[in-house]
Amino acid sequence: MPLQKFHYRNLLLGEHDVPLTCIEQIVTVNDHKRKQKVLGPNQKLKFNPTELIIYCKDFRIVRFRFDESGPESAKKVCLAIAHYSQPTDLQLLFAFEYVGKKYHNSANKINGLPSGGGGGGGRSIAGSGSSQKTPLFETYSDWDREIKRTGASGWRVCSINEGYMISTCLPEYFVVPSSLADQDLKIFSHSFVGRRMPFWCWSHPNGSALVRMALIKDMLQQRKIDQRICNAITKSHPQRSDVYKSDLDKTLPNIQEIQAAFVKLKQLCVNEPFEETEEKWLSSLESTRWLEYVRAFLKHSAELVYMLESKHLSVVLQEEEGRDLSCLVASLVQVMMDPYFRTITGFQSLVQKEWVMAGYQFLDRCNHLKRSEKESPLFLLFLDATWQLLEQHPAAFEFSETYLAVLYDSTWIPLFGTFLFNCPHQRVKQSTEFAISKNIQLGDEKGLKFPSVWDWSLQFSARDRTLFHNPFYIGKSAPCVHNGSGKAFKRTKKSYSSTLRGMPSSLKNGVISDQELLPRRNSLILKLKPDLLQHTDSQHNEMEQYFQEWFSKPVDLHGIILPRVSGTHIKLWKLCYFRWVPEAQISLGGSIMAFHKLSLLADEVDMLSRMLRQQRGGPLEACYAELDQSRMYFRARGPHDASATPDFLSSSFPFSPVGNLCRRSILGTPLSKFLSGAKIWLSTETLANED
């Protein structure tokens, strides 16, 4: 396979760099003695390694040969990597060192630090036209704006947790039913696991709300509190609809099962040589259970969409702690229901809202400290499920699958505060301690400010960032779904009818005529009050019918999108899992070829309409400014651009298996020299200084 000319450059990392947090496992090998050892922390190595294999969390396998290096230094390097990649304390992670340095430096200068909170807001994508900041939901106003954006009446922002006085795993601000007073909430909170009382996620334009909460541990009070909460949620519904409770612990795979599936999936896709699994590929894939789990979450979320949309019921997600499966289900429901969350900014705000702020334990689940038994790839499962939706509705998303893969990889870069902590309180607490120990003056700030992953300019050039854009999704949607204004969501709702207006008349009379018959606000349904906690047969049929009807209509890309969840439709996310596997690469093939061609066309359409606008006498300067702002990575050079396809394209683009050091051509690089200074090289201090 020829070396690839193309490299998607991460500004923070060299081609063969592996962040220490990205290391999954370190294996040392001695060819001659036929020995092999997995290196844990504080371990001894009884042989001189001839080879070092690093299994990475981003699915790379990096191999270093020590053929030309001194045996002792090779051993030292291996032990050093093992040591530093398994830190004993959170504050030893690179972000602390880095931010500490930044603060010290900025004490001399005045404004040396990127703005923003626990992570710094960060504009999403420069030059893209969608330069809104990602709301981080650290402040009262972010939540308030979200309430207004969704038009949720009957809900208010509650600040009883300011200073994390009530719960250390809830955000400082969250949203609750207006009818519940702060005083009541304070009393109730004691009954909930982790004092995680119910909090609001999102409201449908019909008023149905999505709420998540932990279990009520106080058995005596359980019934009473449950009743109070449900009544309050009902009161917040404009139609006083019932509440549908979904017990996620009972209906979905647990985090251990998901972790086990992921380990098997990695074994199959990344670690095992393909020849062994060739014949039994499909059944091996099945036996990992990964796709089954992806399917289960999509299916369950779609059922909740039905409850919210068609049954007009508010939905409460219940889970023991309410900070694992709830994150995934709450986000999937919102991606399906609200087009805003299918934009880049919206998606990022969703991750902030339902994961970072809601207390998803990134530190433990990602296992950054390599000692947690609690590792589980729920966040990846969410990205995978989102990818399935993207695959099934390619024009409904502003972002591309590259964006999703890059976002996953970013969880392993220890520079960003976004994915480092178990909850916002942990950031504040740990970084305050750290600041005190390092003599950093925090002033009014609540803890240190770490760079945010949403500031993509830290990782990628403006041009490379255009690869995040889905060429199917250009145009009006971007300005249309503004964050932060109450009108925005309603405006997108209008496009229901605009899609219909564009329909050929023949179809209006024929196929989609049943559109009007859909029981959107069918009062009959509201009168029914079946026991919703049990799936009765008739209920099940009603739901089936809802899905069927939805699928038999043309999709409104600005409305609800639903996944198809039969086994035929759930697919393996090849770009993510196979991107470093040379055998899986199709040179000049794969969907990137379509992506390339599409980008050119999308760019051409964009360009032509800009030119038209210019002709029609729009302000000239604006036009010139615009002409330079393509949102596409691949650009048309003019109408009917016929320039050849770049020959570096492959099905793994923009990733490249060449980045995988197991290729022979890497042998002979003077790694020995490079690694002999391991002590200095591995010190986080020097890295921070280099910045």
Between the CA of residue 13 and those of 85, 401, 460, 653, 675, what are the distances in Å? 16, 21, 10, 18, 17
Are 535 and 311 in contact by the 8 Å Cβ rule? The answer is no
Could you give the CA distance from residue 138 to residue 278 in angstroms, rounded to a whole number? 49
Determine the size of the site formed for other proteins (CB under 8 A). Answer: 93
Stretch that binds other proteins, among 74-82, 99-107, 240-248, 287-295 (CB under 8 A): 287-295
Q: Tell which positions 430-489 bind other proteins, by CB under 8 A.
A: 472-477, 479
Q: Tell which positions 414-433 bind other proteins, by CB under 8 A.
A: none
**154 binding other proteins? (CB under 8 A):** no
Calculate ∠ Cα 464-469-473, nearest 5°: 160
Least distance (Å) between residue 315 CB and other proteins:
23
Stretch that binds other proteins, among 202-210, 315-323, 441-449, 577-585 (CB under 8 A): 577-585
Stretch that binds other proteins, among 49-57, 81-89, 439-447, 564-572 (CB under 8 A): 564-572
Are 285 and 572 in contact by the 8 Å Cβ rule? The answer is yes
Q: Which of 110, 502, 531, 533 binds other proteins (CB under 8 A)?
A: 502
Stretch that binds other proteins, among 230-238, 307-315, 365-373, 591-599 (CB under 8 A): 591-599
The residues that bridge with 202 in the sheet, in sequence order, are: 210
The three-state secondary structure class of 395 is: helix
Stretch that binds other proteins, among 17-25, 97-105, 110-118, 563-571 (CB under 8 A): 563-571
**507 binding other proteins? (CB under 8 A):** yes
Task: Kindly state the DSSP code that residue 166 receives in the 8-state scheme.
Answer: S
**112 binding other proteins? (CB under 8 A):** no
Task: Kindly state the DSSP code that residue 399 receives in the 8-state scheme.
Answer: B
**210 binding other proteins? (CB under 8 A):** no
Mark out the alpha helices in 466-590 (DSSP H runs): 477-480, 486-501, 505-509, 523-527, 537-551, 574-578
Stretch that binds other proteins, among 11-19, 75-83, 350-358, 546-554 (CB under 8 A): 546-554
Could you give the CA distance from residue 288 to residue 366 in angstroms, rounded to a whole number? 20
Least distance (Å) between residue 583 CB and other proteins:
6
User: Which tokens belong to 105?
Assistant: 């430096």
What is the longest distance spanned by two Cα atoms in the chain? 81
Q: Which of 193, 525, 526, 605 binds other proteins (CB under 8 A)?
A: 605
For residue 500, the number of C-alpha atoms closer than 13 Å in the C-beta half-sphere is 16
Q: Which is nearer to other proteins, 38 or 395 (CB)?
A: 395
625-641 exposure pattern, b = at least 16 Cβ within 10 A, e = fewer: ebeeebbbbbbbeeeee
**612 binding other proteins? (CB under 8 A):** yes
Q: Which is nearer to other proteins, 192 or 403 (CB)?
A: 403
Could you give the CA distance from residue 337 to residue 330 in angstroms, rounded to a whole number? 11
Least distance (Å) between residue 623 CB and other proteins:
10
Least distance (Å) between residue 471 CB and other proteins:
8
Could you give the CA distance from residue 604 to residue 610 in angstroms, rounded to a whole number? 10
Task: Kindly state the DSSP code that residue 134 receives in the 8-state scheme.
Answer: P
Q: Which of 42, 513, 522, 686 binds other proteins (CB under 8 A)?
A: 513
Least distance (Å) between residue 481 CB and other proteins:
12
**278 binding other proteins? (CB under 8 A):** yes
Q: Which of 13, 92, 263, 503 binds other proteins (CB under 8 A)?
A: 503
**392 binding other proteins? (CB under 8 A):** yes
Q: Which of 291, 336, 385, 440 binds other proteins (CB under 8 A)?
A: 291
Least distance (Å) between residue 552 CB and other proteins:
6
Q: Which is nearer to other proteins, 551 or 624 (CB)?
A: 551
**572 binding other proteins? (CB under 8 A):** yes
Q: Which of 131, 545, 629, 665 binds other proteins (CB under 8 A)?
A: 545
For residue 555, the number of C-alpha atoms closer than 13 Å in the C-beta half-sphere is 18
**518 binding other proteins? (CB under 8 A):** no
Measured on CA atoms in the order 360, 362, 365, 369, is the torsion positive or negative? negative
Stretch that binds other proteins, among 146-154, 193-201, 372-380, 506-514 (CB under 8 A): 506-514
Q: Which of 506, 523, 534, 689 binds other proteins (CB under 8 A)?
A: 506
Q: Which of 184, 613, 663, 676 binds other proteins (CB under 8 A)?
A: 613
**556 binding other proteins? (CB under 8 A):** yes
**274 binding other proteins? (CB under 8 A):** yes
Between the CA of residue 374 and those of 156, 252, 255, 371, 422, what are the distances in Å? 34, 17, 8, 9, 12
Could you give the CA distance from residue 601 to residue 591 in angstroms, rounded to a whole number? 15
Q: Tell which positions 649-678 bind other proteins, by CB under 8 A.
A: 651
Q: Which is nearer to other proteins, 380 or 636 (CB)?
A: 636
Are 371 and 86 in contact by the 8 Å Cβ rule? The answer is yes
Stretch that binds other proteins, among 457-465, 482-490, 606-614, 654-662 (CB under 8 A): 606-614
Q: Which of 44, 183, 504, 664 binds other proteins (CB under 8 A)?
A: 504
Q: Which of 111, 441, 523, 615 binds other proteins (CB under 8 A)?
A: 615
Q: Which is nearer to other proteins, 533 or 644 (CB)?
A: 644
Calculate ∠ Cα 371-375-381, nearest 5°: 155
**391 binding other proteins? (CB under 8 A):** yes
**301 binding other proteins? (CB under 8 A):** no
Among 401, 385, 395, 299, which Cα is nearest to 335's?
385
Task: Kindly state the DSSP code that residue 345 receives in the 8-state scheme.
Answer: H
Are 82 and 40 in contact by the 8 Å Cβ rule? The answer is yes
**608 binding other proteins? (CB under 8 A):** yes
* Sequence letter at residue 224: K
The three-state secondary structure class of 193 is: helix
**557 binding other proteins? (CB under 8 A):** yes
* DSSP string for 422-475: SSHHHHHHHHHHHHHHTT---TT-SS--PPPTT-GGGTS-HHHHGGGB-TTS-S
Stretch that binds other proteins, among 113-121, 232-240, 378-386, 550-558 (CB under 8 A): 550-558
Mark out the alpha helices in 568-646 (DSSP H runs): 574-578, 591-615, 620-627
Least distance (Å) between residue 587 CB and other proteins:
5
Measured on CA atoms in the order 659, 664, 670, 672, is the torsion positive or negative? positive
Q: Which is nearer to other proteins, 543 or 682 (CB)?
A: 543
Q: Which of 141, 645, 665, 686 binds other proteins (CB under 8 A)?
A: 645
Q: Which of 181, 436, 462, 588 binds other proteins (CB under 8 A)?
A: 588
**624 binding other proteins? (CB under 8 A):** no
Are 148 and 125 in contact by the 8 Å Cβ rule? The answer is no
Spacing of C-alpha 495 from chain mean position: 27
* Sequence letter at residue 534: Q
